[in-house]
Structure 1
Amino acid sequence: MPVLYCHWRSGGEGVFRRAFRLEVPGTTLSEGSVADLCELVRRSALFERSLRRANADPALRGSSASLSLRWCCDDEPLERAASFSEPLLGCVEAGGDVFLDVRPPPAEAAAAPAEAPTAPAASAGSAAATAQRKDPAESPPAVPAERLEQLLRDADASFAARKLRRADDAWAAVLEADPANERATIGRARVHLDAGRPRKAARLLDGLVARRAAAKRAVDPAILQLHGQALRQAGRFDDAVAAFDKAGVALPIVAPTAGAPAAAAGALAGTKGGRPLSRLDCLAAAAAAMLDQGNDVGAVQVLNSVLAHAERHTGVLVQYARVTALKGDTPAAIGTLMRAVVADQTSAEVKEAFAKTVALPGALDALLALVPARDASAASALGFLAMCARDFGAVGAAARLLVHATDRDPASATYALNLVHCLESLGALQLAFEFGRQFLRRNAAAEARNEAAYYCCVAQCLGTLQRGRDDAAGTAPRPPAAAGAAAATTARPGLGTSLSLRGEASTGPATVVHVLGDSHVMSPSWHRVQLPSSLLPSSSASSSSSSSSSSPGAAASAETAAATANATALLVPALTTGIKAWHLRPASVFYPRVHFEAVAGALPTGSTLLCCIGEIDCREGVLLAVEKRRYKDVESGLRKVATILAARLGRLAAERDLTILIQPAAPVLDPTRPIVVAFNAKLQPAIAAEQERLGSQRAAGRLVWLDYLPRMLDGSVADLRFREPEFGLDGTHLHPRYLSLVEDAAAAAVREG
């Protein structure tokens, strides 16, 4: 239910009193309803009583006190500041304030002595003050100014150290005591922007700008620039362009020389790349907002007006490259971006623009034409550009750039490893294997332990490691599909051959079940397991059943028996190195997402899949995201990540008619085991909800949760451990012995329907 929290504020002395809480059922927040909302407050009996108390408060009576209304329903926030008939000093917004000048004039207060109790006698002063403090409508005494200043200093230092959660907590404490504090408002807006919440950032800054405008105070260009960034990311392009235009008016066309003082708002909001803002910064940002909106003509006009000053301004160069690419002049766009890369090799904006452009048809050839054909010194430049492309999703272009880098520097282990990784991410395991083997043979004396280990990893994916050595030295490696289902390879270095798995005793044909996920797919791969036929592709299920009976009852019994009967499955790796559930969100362009999509797109339609994803999220992803304030706590982060994973697996199952058996995230590390268990507790119902959605839509595919953790772990939440120490392999992966639990959990899932 929408709620208004009302407070009295005294601007002169910093007094802050909680007045009352008013529920407003059925009220939505929009520009047209603000005046009605204010009138609702005025007519409230709570307001009348609160007004009498305020008149009796020496700190509020006779001062410039006002009533602050905080709207605490975020469903329909007011998206922009506006002018209303009420004498507002701000705008109503989610988490923000609107101030009504409802203090009666001093003469009116004096003319109404019956409503304003007389001051108590000196002897009764303590009792009256105690009674006033005990009033539940009152807030604690105001926070001293020295304490607020200390909180602000701590927040600035924490933000500079990228400790965003600590900074945000400090700024929130300041705003609790002083809702109009500009430093804290700007700080929280920066945190919201960094955490991917531009709408919240825009609303905070809407209020700040509106309050300054109402007070006829100029707004610092740095604040306007930050406001424009939030508005652009929130999709409010016209407002963003207006904010950038206002910011640029008061700034020089180019940034002052090094050592010049920062903008008035301070380093927190007023610098770009460690230097003061310039008009070029604002114009480049305005052009970007126009391009986002589809206003190419306006963006070109803005950029053409500043080209004489923009040779080394990366923001202008990036937007100019966008314009030329939209016009189809890809070579010109690449040339412009190369100048931007030279000007700033650390800018994420430049790297992302380069990745998007180099993936366009003809872009790579235009880039290579700028690089000397046999210049060894160009190898480092090509390697750097390859990493820029890869990190923002242009993995194919990155692989081609690395081929040229290795041609110029054949002994570089770094270029070789990155190229193998790119080829793997594209699903080209055969090429990755061949290149890795050739590199290691050419550089046998070099210290390339990581590269050799990675080569072995790729070789295992191809099924070429047997008996602890590469037996493909004289023959070409055979991918699982070419080798056939019967070519099981169960012996790998350090794992042995006797694992007491029920499927290992079978030597006949087996159905391929791919194991999709991060490095946790490697230990179970190339083993045989016994799985219910009903979970395997239909051809496998039908082959294990008998159709000789003509009786309906016998046929039903045969069908039930066939569903619960086991068949042999060969686990084949479908490795997606470093994949997190977080990478699977639709907005992600990071290369593990490209790798996942390449592997998932090659899975046979109608097949069965064993999936193990989520351990890396629990180990580092969610914890770091909480520190960056992307989530308010670990629990909400785990819930969000589990929802992302369940949704992507549901779409994959429906798109390719897959049966996906979902393993719990592997609880392999002692320090993160409680977090992994908590994540699995969120993932299981998310998978169930996604499966219910698939069923309601009669979509192809299905999701099956393998609930075996209770049999794997023992102990309290604070001291979880493996029931059998042998489940641990190398401290970071599970021993294939755990596959017996997978077999039992799959059988139980079929029995329970």
Structure 2
Amino acid sequence: KESINQSIIMTSKFYFHFNSEPNFTAVVKWNGSLDVTVGDSLADFLVRFNDKHGAQRSLSSSEVGLSNSPVLTRSQRILESSPLSSLSDRQDVYVVLDDSPRTAKQTTNSRSSSVKKPEVEEKKDPAVQAEITKAFDQAKKFEAKNHIAKARMLILHLLEMDPNHGAALELIGRMDLQRGSYEDALTHLHKAEGVATKRRKLFGMLGETYYRLGELPSAIKHFQNALKHTKSEKRKDDIEAWIARVKYEQYGSQEAAIRIYEQIFNRNQSHPQALIGYCMAAADRGQGKESIPHLLKAIVSAQQQKSDKETVKRIGLHFASVIDRSSGVRDVLESLGDAATAVSSISFLSTVAKNHGAIKASVGFLVHCANLEPFNRSIALNLIHNYEVLADYNGCFAQCKQFLSRNSSASVAGLGASQISAIIDSIDLKQDTIFKSDQRWEKLDDSVKTEDQIINPNKPPKPCPYSNTELDLFAIYITIVKIFYVTGCLHPITKLINLMHKVKSDYDIHLTSIRNEHAYYSCIAHLMNNVTEKWMNGDQKPTDFKPLYFCGDSHSLPPAYQTVMMNDEPRILIPKLVTGLKCWHMRRESKFFPSMNFDNVLATIPKGSEVIFNFGEIDCRESLIICVEKGRYANLDEAMNVVIGIYMGRLKQLITRRKLAIYVHPVAPVLDITRKNVVKFNRILEREVSKIPELKWLDFDNRMTLNNQKLFNYVYALDGTHLSPRYVTLIEAALKKCE
């Protein structure tokens, strides 16, 4: 704070050169004013040139252009409309004779210059005007609900009736900017600029649009216009922060950008965009640790001021990059001082770190919280899940055992932590798997149901009577079942399920805060009937089978520990669970924790292995339709092609880097509500797999459905969401076709 408040905004110097005869150089000084353009300085230069050399040669602005080099080219041209702050301190600017400066200036800003003021129109028919008003009002309601596609459709219909409706043009321009259609945004915003009476917001949106397109001089020009038309001090700070960002990130004027950030701080020391910009500049100068107090303030300010998603993400990603090192957590805790004992605050920082890729740092924050509050069940549960993201199941299990040991008197519905500890304390995850142990299995009680409420709608669940803390404890219990199943430590699971089923009972736990944990537990409880029958009698041993890895979301659980013949060789399917991963998360730039979980799980698969990949169900169930509604894609086909392209790109990378032999599994069409989309997704997925010779498609998606793929084949039903292990015969047949 002191370094910001004590900073001195120094005057910058720029050197303007005219290298033709007669040579002339002038020093132009800038005192930090944001209103001065490069053209203003050129005018000053020309006055001084003509004063000295006017008798020999006189220059006017119409016959010269400005350049970053002695030769005037399109790429080196400096626009006169650019703010002087866009130049770097002590930069050389060349004043070069130009035969066609007028044409160049016109083409540079062709989008905005093409906008014409509308002619005066006749008064509209009242019925037409009523329809326009109704369409606009409905479009605003759709936009408020994030149904951008519907809102755009209404606005486009409105603009057919009234092409110069300023508010409608501004609305569709804003929506185009939000959905990433920047050329469309420019078209609509520039037209709105020509007809709107209030253009303050338009200039700001135009500035951001040009920034997204990489057209930086135009971006700064429109931000400058927005600044001139803005009275709100807060809005001025927002715009200046944008100008500084453009300068720093892409324009090369880093010192000028820092000065702008410091000017904002002098007025508002809690401005999120200025704080993150300043912190990023500090990190670039090797002062990331020193900037942590400002970074923490940015995180808090963004939350308190309800900043836009892009700002929150930008802050989160930078925070993750600063703390994702051995001393990162310690540096943050030291910076917090006495506040480092506030568990809720540290837990929040853990979530920020996790959501932006710094998983180990997130674990570190939660370990600190757990030491402060060893009885806090929510902290313990989150810590266990973070170890899952790291694919560190030994760490998961150790945390489970430690928490239950510390809280031996805790219980939910009469099931005590000490009872669970008595079963798990002697277990070694590495030694007690079905591959290394001959432990005795316990049969599932007859009272354990094998039918799901989705399949039996006539038996509605009862309201859950448990408190949040009781639910968190039960979530820890049932997560132990998940850990055992994923790691192949199967023999204790039936004993645990027999105990936990009494807690689960017929309650609607799937509607509570632990619905995700419950979903995994419920699926595994259904599967254990089949798994125990297969391995309990000891006629076969898993060590007799070579592993065939199955990498997927929760749909990797049903085929786990089943066996197939592949190339005349018996194989056992080994689950490699990646929780919550969408194809969209496989983007190279993604830092969301499912992406990190995917990387960590892949690291546990030996190079050169044969792997079945099964992803895309969550995209079909959650993301694709929403993205179309938000207008990010024109239709479902486009959305599916994009995410499948991401999926295929990642698989090709794994073939090259990890030498994996990859089989692509179709998405399971179990859910009625998504089946139509799943069938379409599988058709596109099969087509794209066929284009990559190294990939093999498991061709059985039509066997999972009936009636021309309109109905699910309930022969393969399990719990209303997942396939039964019976479907593994389809995998085996598809593998045979791939030989």
TM-score after normalising by structure 1? 0.66
Structure 2 residue 315 is the aligned partner of structure 1 residue 353 = yes
Alpha-carbon separation, structure 2, partners of 1:205 and 1:332? 41
CA deviation vs aligned residue, 1:57-92 (integer Å, no higher than 9, x gap): xxxxxxxxxxxxxxxxxxxxxxx999879999x966
Alpha-carbon separation, structure 2, partners of 1:167 and 1:504? 63
Alpha-carbon separation, structure 1, partners of 2:245 and 2:531? 59
SS class of match (2:481):
helix
Alpha-carbon separation, structure 1, partners of 2:687 and 2:375? 51
Structure 1 residue aligned with 2:722, among 708, 727, 733? 733
Q: CA deviation at 1:372?
A: 4.6
> Residue 176 of structure 1 aligns with which residue?
160
Counting only pairs closer than 5 Å after superposition, residues 156-167 of structure 1 correspond to structure 2 as: 156-167=140-151
Alpha-carbon separation, structure 1, partners of 2:724 and 2:618? 18
CA deviation vs aligned residue, 1:517-559 (integer Å, no higher than 9, x gap): 1011112112222112xxxxxxxxxxxxxxxxxxxxxxxxxxx
> Residue 411 of structure 2 aligns with which residue?
445
Structure 2 residue aligned with 1:703, among 665, 679, 695? 695
Counting only pairs closer than 5 Å after superposition, residues 93-132 of structure 1 correspond to structure 2 as: none
Alpha-carbon separation, structure 2, partners of 1:371 and 1:316? 21
Alpha-carbon separation, structure 1, partners of 2:276 and 2:656? 39
Q: CA deviation at 1:99?
A: 6.2
- Alpha-carbon distance change, 172 to 86 in structure 1, aligned in 2, over 3 angstroms: farther
SS class of match (2:570):
strand
Structure 2 residue 393 is the aligned partner of structure 1 residue 414 = no
SS class of match (1:512):
strand
> Residue 340 of structure 1 aligns with which residue?
298
Structure 2 residue aligned with 1:721, among 705, 709, 712? 712
> Residue 188 of structure 2 aligns with which residue?
204
> Residue 40 of structure 1 aligns with which residue?
none
What residue ranges of structure 2 are gaps of 5+ in the alignment? 1-78, 82-100, 413-469, 497-523
SS class of match (1:431):
helix
Counting only pairs closer than 5 Å after superposition, residues 599-748 of structure 1 correspond to structure 2 as: 599-689=601-691, 691-692=692-693, 702-717=694-709, 719-722=710-713, 725-748=714-737
CA deviation vs aligned residue, 1:20-57 (integer Å, no higher than 9, x gap): xxxxxxxxxxxxxxxxxxxxxxxxxxxxxxxxxxxxxx
Contact 2:189–2:206 (CA under 8 A) maintained in structure 1: yes
Counting only pairs closer than 5 Å after superposition, residues 286-297 of structure 1 correspond to structure 2 as: 286-293=243-250, 294-297=252-255
Contact 1:518–1:577 (CA under 8 A) maintained in structure 2: yes
> Residue 460 of structure 1 aligns with which residue?
485
Residue identity opposite 2:374 in structure 1 = P
Contact 1:364–1:397 (CA under 8 A) maintained in structure 2: yes
Alpha-carbon separation, structure 2, partners of 1:711 and 1:504? 31
Contact 1:518–1:576 (CA under 8 A) maintained in structure 2: yes
Structure 2 residue 228 is the aligned partner of structure 1 residue 249 = yes
Alpha-carbon separation, structure 2, partners of 1:743 and 1:660? 15
Alpha-carbon separation, structure 2, partners of 1:440 and 1:87? 73
Alpha-carbon separation, structure 2, partners of 1:375 and 1:707? 55
Q: CA deviation at 1:649?
A: 1.2
SS class of match (1:403):
helix
Q: CA deviation at 1:253?
A: 6.2
CA deviation vs aligned residue, 1:587-618 (integer Å, no higher than 9, x gap): 32211111112222332111100111011111
- Alpha-carbon distance change, 728 to 374 in structure 1, aligned in 2, over 3 angstroms: same
Contact 1:611–1:663 (CA under 8 A) maintained in structure 2: yes
CA deviation vs aligned residue, 1:426-479 (integer Å, no higher than 9, x gap): 2222111211232234344252222322232122222222263479xxxxxxxx
> Residue 475 of structure 1 aligns with which residue?
none
Q: Which range is displaced more, 450-459 or 320-329?
A: 450-459
Counting only pairs closer than 5 Å after superposition, residues 234-633 of structure 1 correspond to structure 2 as: 234-252=213-231, 254-255=233-234, 278-293=235-250, 294-345=252-303, 346-347=306-307, 348=309, 349-350=311-312, 352-360=314-322, 361=325, 362-372=327-337, 376=341, 378-443=342-407, 444-445=410-411, 447=470, 448-466=473-491, 468-469=493-494, 493-498=528-533, 509-532=544-567, 566-633=568-635
Residue identity opposite 1:721 in structure 2 = F
Structure 2 residue 129 is the aligned partner of structure 1 residue 148 = no
Alpha-carbon separation, structure 1, partners of 2:225 and 2:539? 72
Q: CA deviation at 1:419?
A: 1.7
- Alpha-carbon distance change, 330 to 634 in structure 1, aligned in 2, over 3 angstroms: same
Contact 2:320–2:356 (CA under 8 A) maintained in structure 1: no
| 4+ aligned runs moved over 4 Å, structure 1 | 80-88, 90-93, 96-103, 372-376, 489-492, 503-508
CA deviation vs aligned residue, 1:255-314 (integer Å, no higher than 9, x gap): 3xxxxxxxxxxxxxxxxxxxxxx2101001111122220432221121122321021222
Q: CA deviation at 1:333?
A: 1.9
What residue ranges of structure 1 are gaps of 5+ in the alignment? 1-79, 104-140, 256-277, 472-488, 533-565, 693-701
SS class of match (2:548):
strand
Residue identity opposite 2:711 in structure 1 = L
SS class of match (1:587):
coil
Alpha-carbon separation, structure 2, partners of 1:363 and 1:499? 48
Alpha-carbon separation, structure 2, partners of 1:504 and 1:655? 39
Residue identity opposite 2:391 in structure 1 = G
- Alpha-carbon distance change, 609 to 331 in structure 1, aligned in 2, over 3 angstroms: same
SS class of match (2:695):
strand
Alpha-carbon separation, structure 1, partners of 2:184 and 2:392? 43
Contact 2:388–2:396 (CA under 8 A) maintained in structure 1: yes
CA deviation vs aligned residue, 1:485-513 (integer Å, no higher than 9, x gap): xxxx999634344469xx99676632222
Residue identity opposite 2:343 in structure 1 = A
CA deviation vs aligned residue, 1:707-728 (integer Å, no higher than 9, x gap): 01222211145x4121xx3411
- Alpha-carbon distance change, 516 to 498 in structure 1, aligned in 2, over 3 angstroms: same
Residue identity opposite 2:173 in structure 1 = A
- Alpha-carbon distance change, 490 to 381 in structure 1, aligned in 2, over 3 angstroms: closer
Q: CA deviation at 1:394?
A: 2.1
Q: CA deviation at 1:664?
A: 0.2
Alpha-carbon separation, structure 1, partners of 2:218 and 2:493? 64
Identity percentage over the alignment?
27
SS class of match (1:371):
helix
SS class of match (1:464):
coil
Alpha-carbon separation, structure 2, partners of 1:207 and 1:687? 44
Q: CA deviation at 1:744?
A: 0.4
SS class of match (2:574):
strand
- Alpha-carbon distance change, 85 to 641 in structure 1, aligned in 2, over 3 angstroms: closer
Alpha-carbon separation, structure 1, partners of 2:534 and 2:589? 42
Alpha-carbon separation, structure 1, partners of 2:720 and 2:268? 54
TM-score after normalising by structure 2? 0.67
Residue identity opposite 1:385 in structure 2 = L
Counting only pairs closer than 5 Å after superposition, residues 25-104 of structure 1 correspond to structure 2 as: none
- Alpha-carbon distance change, 382 to 313 in structure 1, aligned in 2, over 3 angstroms: same
Alpha-carbon separation, structure 2, partners of 1:743 and 1:523? 14
- Alpha-carbon distance change, 370 to 470 in structure 1, aligned in 2, over 3 angstroms: farther
Contact 2:244–2:261 (CA under 8 A) maintained in structure 1: yes
Alpha-carbon separation, structure 1, partners of 2:336 and 2:259? 32
Contact 1:464–1:470 (CA under 8 A) maintained in structure 2: no
- Alpha-carbon distance change, 298 to 207 in structure 1, aligned in 2, over 3 angstroms: farther
**C-alpha RMSD of matched pairs (Å):** 3.4
- Alpha-carbon distance change, 86 to 297 in structure 1, aligned in 2, over 3 angstroms: closer
Contact 2:359–2:389 (CA under 8 A) maintained in structure 1: yes
> Residue 220 of structure 1 aligns with which residue?
199
Q: CA deviation at 1:571?
A: 1.5
